[in-house]
Structure 1
Amino acid sequence: MKNSITIGKVKGIDIEINISWLVVFGLVTFTLAMSFFPANYPEWSSFARWSLAAIMAIALFGSVLLHELSHSVVSIGLGIDVKKITLFIFGGVAQIEREPDDPVKELKIAIAGPMMSLAIAITTLVASRLLSLVEAPEFVTVPITYIANVNLILAFFNMIPAFPLDGGRVLRAAIWKAKGDIEVATRIASAAGGVFGYLIIFLGIFLALTGNIVNGIWFVFIGWFINQASQSSYQNLIVNDIFGKIKVRKFMSENPVTVNSSISIKDMVEDYIYKYKYSSFPVKSRDRVIGIVNIERIKSTQRDSWEYTDVEAVTEKLNESLVVSPEDSVAEAMNKIFRNEIGRVLVMDGDTLVGIVSRTDILNHIRIYNQLH
């Protein structure tokens, strides 16, 4: 996700915080310190209110992270890799490498998050009650009770049967198991997600019209997000289904124009970019492909040095995200294309360059498919 900062790694999974999540942190801290605490605990000092508010906002962060980590750990245990977890304004999302190939796996992954949230809620609720019995101070019991309530909300909200919420994924798994068709199951679960999204939007409008403007706007945004996510989830499934049936060999552009690594950037711009009108070119050194160079990497170099800088200096070296095999599916190529910063992949048969697939190729195919269907 763009505008995200990696803060660490857990079990090989990158943990990211999107800048938008800082809005949530600020809102939660401000609301607790300036509204909730003064109304319920007026005797607390300003320092105590702001300190506990920040701690409780961090507890919210931890709760969402544990929720997503539960999905991820179960997914990895079932053989489906997870690249990263991103926390953003509407919660968190685990970037699972591929969809489960079995409804039982889907169910296990989906239920893991709410079960973790429920377990945290029960544990912290019991701890809060025990601390109250021994008359622990309120500034200890209040944050723990807050964690319990937050996790109860996370568990029950996520179990609403509206795709792509966890409950929607449970619904999809049940329909998939009954019908034996993931496309039908996704269409029904996504439709439920769309309906739920509209209900949340209408509720938000009602709240805004009755004077609760802040909560009303918040509900509208959440409803809009769920509605859009449910639609895009179904569309992504269809697109992956289309490209999952096509081999790269039948889809690629053959005999791509290559650039020698030893020529200058100036010569490349004049003799290749302006001539062929491509934004990227495979780069060869002694007849061996060593990577890709594109306009963005050229632009990062001072223009007055183009004549003296060779192409190899700005070449993105070959790596796993830039290469596919002719026998891979276009869906695999597409996943790499939309993850790397180049916008295309090289098709390599061993050490031999046989073709290239670009983001434009994929988008044009989708456009034509939509026109024909």
Structure 2
Amino acid sequence: MASSVVRPAPLPRIGALRAAGGVCTLAIAVRPDISCLLAIGLSAWTFADAVFPAAAPGRGLVAYVATGIVAAGGLITSLVLHEVGHAIVGRWIGLTPRHISLSLFGGVTLFDREPGTPGQACALALAGPVANLLVAVVAGIVHVVLVDAGADPLAAAAAASIVVINLGITLVNLIPALPLDGGHAARAVLGVVLRRPDIAGAIADAIGRALGWTMVGVAVLASASGDAAIAVWAALIGFAVHDHMQRVVPMTRSMSRAPLAPVLRRDDARRVARRPAA
């Protein structure tokens, strides 16, 4: 979801991605948390219990569970690709990605420093959603091909679930609230427009906190209406946002001026240059 700044010790390389022609070389450690197993189990249960029986009725429990596990694996893969998108763009703008952390609540790509300009901050923030949008397009093509070929409806439903997963990740992360990618992009843009990075950060913080508590409220309402899947997912999202705001935002708030300082200094210099001589 979000990108953070940290300066840890070098990590062993678990996975590597190398672009052809030497245009971009990326080698970054991926650190999955044990809670990823819970994410896979919860996702598989959601798909096997509520999604696939409606998409392909009349199949056995084993078929639904197996396809649910495949879809859950697609969710984890989509989260990794989201963070790889951040890492690739981060490398492109001159940052060093340290590692990718994955957990039940999503992923975080850690870099050695903040982006140097608001434009770089926006590019870095939006890289993840763009990566998921591309995955959704590819999965959508696969779904259409499977349907046209008369393939197993469960296979087509699994491809469709990857489309929905990636569109969901894209849309949620575009919400202009920290710690989501849209919040980081909005903070950079508002910092330039308002010329007050601290106020821009406070606005994105406030929207993030409101989002967290709103999702908790949705979880309560869904639980009261008997919709267990929505209740669990909404509660997880709400508490994940709230926990991130409590732990990460206070650490990064003090650095919110850094990406905007070079632009503000250039603007000040231009105003001085235009000032008529006394």
How far does the alpha carbon of each residue in 1:134-164 deviate from its partner, in whole angstroms, 9 at most, with x for none? 3223233121111111101010011011111
Counterpart Cα distance in 2 of 1:227 and 1:90: 11
Correspondence for 1:71 among 80, 83, 86: 86
Instruction: Work out whether 1:175 is the aligned partner of 2:182.
Output: no
Runs (5+) with no aligned partner, structure 2 = 1-7, 18-25, 258-278
Provide, for residues 160-203 of structure 1, a one-character-per-residue CA deviation record: whole Å limited to 9, x for no partner: 11111011111111112213343332121111111111211222
Equivalent residue of 1:84, what SS? strand
TM-superposed deviation, 1:80: 1.1
Deviation at 1:125, TM superposition (A): 1.4
Instruction: Report the secondary structure of 2:108's partner residue.
Output: strand
Q: CA RMSD in A?
A: 2.5
3-state secondary structure, aligned to 1:12? strand
Q: In 2, distance between residues paired with 1:241 and 1:121?
A: 32
Within 5 A, what are the aligned runs for 1:244-323? none
CA shift digits 1:336-369 (9 cap, x unpaired): xxxxxxxxxxxxxxxxxxxxxxxxxxxxxxxxxx
> 1:200-237, CA deviations, whole angstroms, 9 ceiling, x for partnerless residues?
12222222223334532432332122133234444113
2:15 is equivalent to residue 8 of structure 1: yes
8 A contact 1:71–1:109 mirrored in 2: yes
Provide the residue aligned with 2:109 in structure 1. 94
| Contact persistence 2:13–2:28 (CA under 8 A) | no
Partner amino acid, structure 1, of 2:95: I
Matched, 1:130 2:145: yes
In proportion to residue count, which structure has more helix?
2
1:162: which partner in 2? Answer: 177
Match of 2:242 in 1: 227
Matched to 1:105, the amino acid is Q
Q: Which of 188, 199, 202 is equivalent to 2:217?
A: 202
- Tell me the residue number matched to 1:83: 98
After superposing on structure 2, the runs of 4+ consecutive aligned residues of structure 1 that deviate more than 4 Å are 238-242
Contact 2:56 2:154 (C-alpha < 8 Å) held by counterparts: no
Structure exhibiting the larger radius of gyration computed from Cα positions: 1
Q: Does 1:190 align with 2:205?
A: yes
Are the structure 2 counterparts of residues 238 and 164 from structure 1 closer, same or farther at C-alpha, using a change threshold of 3 Å? closer
> Residue type matched to 1:158 in 2?
N
- More divergent stretch after superposition (144-153 vs 129-138): 129-138
CA distance in 2, matches of 1:232, 1:239: 13
Calculate the TM-score normalised by the size of structure 1. Answer: 0.59
Residues 160 and 167 of structure 1 are in contact (CA less than 8 Å); yes or no, is this contact kept in structure 2? Answer: yes
Q: Distance in 1 between matches of 2:251 and 2:118?
A: 18
Amino acid at match of 1:83: R
Task: Tell me the residue number matched to 2:5.
Answer: none
Give the count of matched residue pairs.
239
* TM-score calculated relative to the size of structure 2: 0.77
| CA deviation after TM superposition for structure 1 residue 41, in Å | 2.8
* Whole-Å separation in 2 of the counterparts to 1:29 and 1:65: 18
1:22 aligns with 2:37: yes
**Alignment-mate amino acid for residue 74 of structure 1:** V
1:218 aligns with 2:246: no
SS in 1 for 2:217: helix
Distance 1:229 1:142 in 2: 33
8 Å CA contact 1:179–1:185 kept in 2: the answer is yes
Tell me which residue corresponds to 2:156: 141
Instruction: Kindly indicate whether the alpha-carbon contact (under 8 Å) linking 2:13 and 2:27 is maintained by their aligned counterparts in 1.
Output: no
Query: Which structure has the higher relative contact order (CA within 8 Å, separation 6+)?
Result: 2
Query: Sequence identity of aligned pairs in percent?
Result: 28
Secondary structure in 1 matching 2:30: strand
Q: Which stretches in structure 1 are left out of the alignment for 5+ residues? A: 243-373
Over residues 313-355 of structure 1, what are the superposed CA-to-partner deviations in whole Å (9 max), with x where a residue is unaligned? xxxxxxxxxxxxxxxxxxxxxxxxxxxxxxxxxxxxxxxxxxx
How far did residue 133 of structure 1 move? 2.2
**Partner SS, residue 48 of structure 1:** helix
Give the superposition deviation at 1:6.
Answer: 8.3
How far apart, in 1, do the equivalents of 2:89 and 2:125 lie? 9
Q: Give distance in 1, aligned partners of 2:60 and 2:229.
A: 27
3-state SS of 2:204 partner: helix
Question: How far does the alpha carbon of each residue in 1:268-315 deviate from its partner, in whole angstroms, 9 at most, with x for none?
Answer: xxxxxxxxxxxxxxxxxxxxxxxxxxxxxxxxxxxxxxxxxxxxxxxx
The AA in structure 2 aligned to 1:226 is V
Structure with the higher fraction of residues in strand conformation: 1
* TM-superposed deviation, 1:121: 1.1
